[in-house]
């Protein structure tokens, strides 16, 4: 079928239209899948190295990570350096105005460590303040959705426990690029332009991110001297410069002058939390995520449900597999909407949610021939709720799985005077129902979407990975893992394989699934499969984005080599030495 015809189709086309369009496709239009070999076409070869490896969404940032490793830095040192560079080079997705989560494998102690470096709501903000302004939901721009940035504290917590090089050496490459400039890459330039149009009226945003009145185009040089000065202050004075010192004072004055809510007390009272990763066994592999307030355990819930089926025999891209994936996601996300929140404010039954017994009970709700339109959250108590991702491994086989975000498209928009970074809008995910576990309250962490992951086998790491992209992340984690474990794909192949995305589940913010939601898909699935899913009652839409961004490093312990993949949906790459 002609590509122009596809693009002319509206996303809201009814199922009958999609039946007609699917019928017009030929089997050859299942792009990228070889029915004879049963293999996907990868966009590039896997990267393999013996020393260290970095996978990130921007090549210059990935090279900085390798530079730090070659200087004797640890995996954590390199991860911080890469993240600092991405805050400059990919500001639409991340930066020190946002939050951070990480899972670290420490080779010395032979142990996994989890860090929740997410910030909390301002003391001055509550539900009455928001609804009193005539709002029925949290906004995505302006001052209301801004929460305390946790990224900087996360850097210094990681560095104190696992770092080797001084912070001035770690931040120096990003400072150099901020002062001298760097060429903007293609995908980032696209999202920069979209975000710029939405936020150009926010305080200091245009002056910082729209030089000459517009977003920089692909290949144009962008500089951020304000961010360079901020990084220098952090390198010299440490984390307290951000939360108690001059930078904190600048933020305090900025919010007070512009109708914001964050004050010095919010910054002074911020702290990160070291947490125990939560795991489940999936066909002999232990998959690890972080507990709420993040959504990582949703991936574990989906895997637990799918474990009861012979997924490998279904085959990649089959209607049976995709139907199961969608229905398992619906089940997990109804629990996500009901239970996932700040554990300091709610008693979250994490053990019950990720138990095999609970998965067995929920699995009974799946009809293999029909899509569910409404699903209640379960009762796990009876059985015992825009981003950048990077991954680093060093020569000693320490691994860092790190994800960091401003949330939606640059964040809320406001840029504190002279500091060179945008504030996150993570508070947009609060619920305004006072009875909900994720309700907005002062000094509370909101529900969070960003999730790093790690896989171990026989007590040792084998795979550190992540898939950025809002509620796509648990779905992406599961699809990548099934591609590798069930379908035998390689590390690059597993990320490049086409994905589906289910939307319309109930949300922690208060939205409720009423019609079963909808499913979008990428090129690469057979037309007959799409027709089959429609026949099972799935509402199929066609779009051209929103499937996340994957990076992953696999440790081949037999040969002691690292195998990296970085998918083609982003600008990034895997680099080894």
User: Do 539 and 18 meet the contact criterion of CB atoms below 8 Å apart?
Assistant: no
Half-sphere exposure of 566 (CA within 13 A, CB side): 22
Backbone angles phi, psi at 22, to 5 degrees: -65, -35
Q: Which residues pair with 183 in a beta bridge?
A: 221
236: tokens are 């010299």
Distance CA 27, CA 173 (A): 49
In terms of DSSP H, where are the helices of 94-219?
127-131, 151-162, 167-180, 186-199, 205-209
- Which residues lie closer than 8 Å to 509 by C-beta, 6 or more apart? 137, 138, 428, 429, 430, 431, 438, 447
Distance CA 421, CA 405 (A): 12
Q: Which amino acids are annotated catalytic?
A: 387
- Say whether 7 sits in a helix, a strand or coil: helix
User: Do 11 and 543 meet the contact criterion of CB atoms below 8 Å apart?
Assistant: yes
Interstrand relation of 47-49 and 53-56 (parallel, antiparallel or unpaired): unpaired
**How crowded is residue 560: how many other Cβ atoms within 10 Å of its Cβ?**
9
**How crowded is residue 191: how many other Cβ atoms within 10 Å of its Cβ?**
18
User: Do 470 and 449 meet the contact criterion of CB atoms below 8 Å apart?
Assistant: yes
E strands, 500-572, are 500-503, 518-521, 540-542, 549-556, 561-566
């Amino acid at each position: 079928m002609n590509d122009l015809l596809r693009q002319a189709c509206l996303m809201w086309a009814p199922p009958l239209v999609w039946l007609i369009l699917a019928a017009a496709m030929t089997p050859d239009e299942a792009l990228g899948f070889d029915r004879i070999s049963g293999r996907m076409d990868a966009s590039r070869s896997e990267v393999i190295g013996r020393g260290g490896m970095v996978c990130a969404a921007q090549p210059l940032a990935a090279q900085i990570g390798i530079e730090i490793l070659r200087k004797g830095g640890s995996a954590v040192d390199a991860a911080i350096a890469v993240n600092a560079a991405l805050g400059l080079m990919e500001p639409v997705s991340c930066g020190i105005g946002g939050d951070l989560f990480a899972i670290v494998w420490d080779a010395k102690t032979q142990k996994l460590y989890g860090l929740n470096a997410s910030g909390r709501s301002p003391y001055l903000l509550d539900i009455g303040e928001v609804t009193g302004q005539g709002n029925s939901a949290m906004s995505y721009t302006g001052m209301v959705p801004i929460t305390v940035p946790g990224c900087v504290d996360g850097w210094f917590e990681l560095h104190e426990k696992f770092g080797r090089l001084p912070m001035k050496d770690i931040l120096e490459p990003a400072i150099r690029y901020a002062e001298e400039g760097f060429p903007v890459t293609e995908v980032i330039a696209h999202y920069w332009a979209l975000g710029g149009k939405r936020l150009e009226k926010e305080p200091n945003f245009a002056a910082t991110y729209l030089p000459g009145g517009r977003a920089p185009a692909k290949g144009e040089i962008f500089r951020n001297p304000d961010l360079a000065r901020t990084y220098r202050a952090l390198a010299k004075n440490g984390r307290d410069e951000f939360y108690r010192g001059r930078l904190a004072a600048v933020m305090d004055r900025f919010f007070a002058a512009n109708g914001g809510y964050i004050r010095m007390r919010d910054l002074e009272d911020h702290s990160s939390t070291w947490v125990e990763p939560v795991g489940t066994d999936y066909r002999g592999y232990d998959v690890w995520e972080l507990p709420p307030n993040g959504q990582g355990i949703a991936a574990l819930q989906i895997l637990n449900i799918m474990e009861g089926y012979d997924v490998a025999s279904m085959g990649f891209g089959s209607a049976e597999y995709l139907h199961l994936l969608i229905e398992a996601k619906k089940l997990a996300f109804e629990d996500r909407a009901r239970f996932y929140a700040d554990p300091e404010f709610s008693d979250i039954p994490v053990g019950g949610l990720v138990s095999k017994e609970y998965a067995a009970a929920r699995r009974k709700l799946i009809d293999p021939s029909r899509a569910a339109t409404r699903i209640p959250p379960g009762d796990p108590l009876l059985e015992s709720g825009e981003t950048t991702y990077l991954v680093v491994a060093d020569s000693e086989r320490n691994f860092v799985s790190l994800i960091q975000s401003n949330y939606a498209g640059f964040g809320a928009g406001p840029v504190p005077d002279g500091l060179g970074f945008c504030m996150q809008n993570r508070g947009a995910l609060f619920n305004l129902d006072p009875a909900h576990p994720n309700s907005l309250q002062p000094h509370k962490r909101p529900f969070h979407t960003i999730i790093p992951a790690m896989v171990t086998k026989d007590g040792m790491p084998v795979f550190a990975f992540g898939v950025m992209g809002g509620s796509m992340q648990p779905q992406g984690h599961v699809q990548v893992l099934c591609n590798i474990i069930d379908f035998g794909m390689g590390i690059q192949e597993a990320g490049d394989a086409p994905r589906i995305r289910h939307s319309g589940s109930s949300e922690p913010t208060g939205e409720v699934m009423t019609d079963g939601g909808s499913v979008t898909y990428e090129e690469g699935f057979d037309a007959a499969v799409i027709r089959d899913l429609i026949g099972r009652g799935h509402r199929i839409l066609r779009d051209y984005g929103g499937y996340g961004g994957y990076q992953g490093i696999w440790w081949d312990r037999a040969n002691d080599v690292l195998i990296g993949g970085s998918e083609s949906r982003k600008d990034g790459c895997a680099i080894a030495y």
